[in-house]
Amino acid sequence: MIDSPKSARLPRLSLNAALFVALASGPLIVGPAFAQGSHGMDTMKGMPDKGGAKPAGATSASAVGTVEAIDSQNRKIKLKHEPIAAFGWPSMSMEMTAAPSVDLAKVKPGSKVNFTLSKGANDSYTVDALSVQ
């Protein structure tokens, strides 16, 4: 049996109308359904927080690298460092500011060093401590 569109439309409309009336006039039925839904949402919201320990959140890290250049006058040191997992960095060459406590006279281009790096404002990085390997 194939229903014509016209004959199918009327029952469908009345079914929708009945459903609408039931939903609109039945807050006691709709209420628990919404409560369940929001509980599910709360569970979902918690998920990103669980994985929130991103490496980028670290403010200091220990690393190893090779000195490439030193600018004693401006307290700058260019290091080719190995990957720094705490910052999510691959190995790279970069210039950093040396803290006043760091003795730049101890190092020269080619020196292999252990150093600690801290992240400051505006994504600036400072070498807090440095020792030749």
- Site residues for Cu ion per CB under 5 A: 92, 94
Q: How far is the CB of 81 from Cu ion (least distance, A)?
A: 5
**Residue among 94 and 129 whose Cβ is closer to Cu ion:** 94
Q: How far is the CB of 95 from Cu ion (least distance, A)?
A: 9
Q: How far is the CB of 124 from Cu ion (least distance, A)?
A: 12
**Whose CA is closest to 85, among 60, 66, 108?**
60
> 90 vs 2, 29, 53, 106, CA distance in Å?
67, 56, 18, 26
**Residue among 94 and 99 whose Cβ is closer to Cu ion:** 94
SS3 state of residue 67: strand
Quote the CA–CA distance of 86 and 62 in Å, as a whole number. 8
**Residue among 13 and 92 whose Cβ is closer to Cu ion:** 92
